[in-house]
Amino acid sequence: MTWSPTTGLPPGLALSSNGTISGTPTAPGFYCFEVLATDSSTPPQSPGQSLCIGINQPDSSHNALLKGHYAFFINWFEPSILKTTAQIATAGSFVADGAGNVTGGVSDTNGPGVAANQPFTGTYALGADNRGTLSISTPTQTMGTYAFSVGSMSASGVATKGRMIRASGVSAAGEFELQDPSAFSNSAVSGSYAFELSGRGAFSGQLGADGVFTADGNGSINTGNADENFNGAVTANQPLTGTYNIAANSTDGRGTGTLTIAGNFAFYVVSTSKMFMVSADSASNPRVFTGRALKQSGGPFNSSLLSGASVFSTGTAGDVTAGLEMFDGRVTVNVLQDQKNANGTVTLDSTTSDTYSVSSNGRVTVTVAGVPVSVLYLVSAGTGFILNADGSTGFFEPQSVGPFTESSIDGDFFFGNVPMPALSPASSGVATLKAGAINLTSDLNEGGTLIFGQSSQDSYVVSANGRVTTGSGNEVIYVISPTKFLMIDVNPTNTTLGITVAEQ
């Protein structure tokens, strides 16, 4: 049996031959059409059925919450001409006017092949629950529709952070953050920064790197060190130099630069303390990545700056891990973690005892029985980037003081997937947690089909150490603070690889 529509489907929707209606509607209204079902008899029979679909006007009641300059980055995957899966990495900036319009957009995309400094405009609608949709296009093509959620409101009442997913085409996850235009200059980017790069080769191979460098405020990068794992080839603690440049009188915070470890890159300034990065070389240098650079504080570093509990997450195309690192401030770190790999195998609540040492520039080596398993680079006390021996990358940050209870994470949160070097469904949305009950409204892109506004409920139990189990058993949550937690998918019946961050 094959299915086909007559004219009249809502704009943006399509009917596949197996009877699935998918896509993202682009115009409100009430649409009626006829569906034909054709069988395999001779001659074929094609009975019809009239159907109608109503498309509601997007809720734009809270558009004013998204206002100002925002930097973003997002990752996804596409089939390539070589019949492999190629990573697409994008970073950029846009201006939201608080009334549903996007102007001054610019982006850099690599994956493979470079589309540099591309302008775009768009529209958005942000609803009362802090969930919205964003549609953007260049002068020559539509770039797509995205679902997003926002939070972390500033004193002036605008969102400072958001999580986004692709609503059309293959799934993708990313984030955006309010920019400080006063930081759009070479002189504002000055001091020591820790950084992380995560991605793949242009057509194959896992890429993970982290390190530290000093920006001199005049366009030079020096006194750096970095560690890289590219498709299993490890380069440890190598010297790092480079250059950077932000155009005079920049209105978008876009800059370009070079690093000896990564080649050419573009970056977008969030503030004097943060930048989003994206690779800018063609397939001749096949590293395709996005990354972040965060300004260091508290150096020179030593072991005492790693003391107490930090929550961490890491991921590759093959597995994801989340847990607690409990540093003793001297040499020992005890790790509690939950892990899931691409075939659905789950390892829950496992523990290890490792040793660590800290260099003055913030480089931390972690070993088990004398064998290196991770290299960390500190941003500040208890905070930094992770590069594991398998090439997975991640982040850790201090956990607030426990003991924790169900009331420790009461409140309203926005959430979204951490961008991962893996082809997996992506989701964003909002959640309310109260007294052991969790209610979520999610937007999910699975296989190119957006499920918008999906509601679900679950229960949860909080352990004193901040590890949270859900009644469904599908997720494990780690409390970072009363206003932030992360969640790992541990459902063994599917192969979804996901780390989700939720913030107020």
DSSP secondary structure letters along 389-445: TTS-EEEEEEPPP----GGGG-EEEEEEEPP-SS---EEEEEEEEETTEEEEEEEEE
Q: Is residue 148 part of a domain?
A: no
Q: Is residue 414 part of a domain?
A: yes
Do 235 and 194 fall within a single domain?
A: yes
- Cα 241–Cα 245–Cα 250 angle in degrees, nearest 5: 155
Do 269 and 340 fall within a single domain?
A: no
Q: Is residue 88 part of a domain?
A: no
Cα dihedral 401, 405, 411, 415, rounded to 10, equals 70
Number of domain units in the chain = 4
Lowest mean pLDDT segment, chosen from 47-51, 64-68, 74-78, 210-214: 47-51
Lowest mean pLDDT segment, chosen from 18-22, 171-175, 369-373, 433-437: 18-22
Do 187 and 285 fall within a single domain?
A: yes
Q: Is the pLDDT higher at 27 or at 251?
A: 251
Read off the pLDDT band of 83 (50, 70, 90).
Answer: very low
- Cα 163–Cα 199–Cα 369 angle in degrees, nearest 5: 105
Last-in-domain residue among 250, 278, 295: 295
The encoded tokens of residue 17 equal 């031959």
Round the CA-based radius of gyration of the chain to a whole number and report it.
23
Q: Is residue 139 part of a domain?
A: no
pLDDT in tens, 101-152: 999 999 999 876 788 999 999 999 999 999 999 988 876 655 678 999 999 9
**Mean of pLDDT values over 417-426:** 75
Q: Is residue 120 part of a domain?
A: no
Say whether 63 sits in a helix, a strand or coil.
helix
Do 187 and 291 fall within a single domain?
A: yes
Do 262 and 316 fall within a single domain?
A: no
CB 87 within 8 A of CB 421: yes
Whether residue 32 is predicted with pLDDT greater than 90 in this model: the reply is no
Do 388 and 441 fall within a single domain?
A: no
Q: Is residue 342 part of a domain?
A: yes
**Mean of pLDDT values over 141-167:** 89
Q: Is residue 62 part of a domain?
A: no
- The pLDDT of residue 35 is 67
Q: What is the pTM of this model?
A: 0.88
Do 191 and 218 fall within a single domain?
A: yes
pLDDT in tens, 86-100: 678 899 999 999 999
Say whether 182 sits in a helix, a strand or coil.
helix
What average pLDDT does the chain have? 88
pLDDT in tens, 348-379: 999 999 999 999 999 999 999 889 999 999 99
- The pLDDT of residue 439 is 97
Domain range for 371: 303-398
Q: Is residue 150 part of a domain?
A: no
* Torsion-angle region of 339 (φ positive above 0: left; ψ -120 to 50: alpha; else: beta): beta
Do 311 and 265 fall within a single domain?
A: no
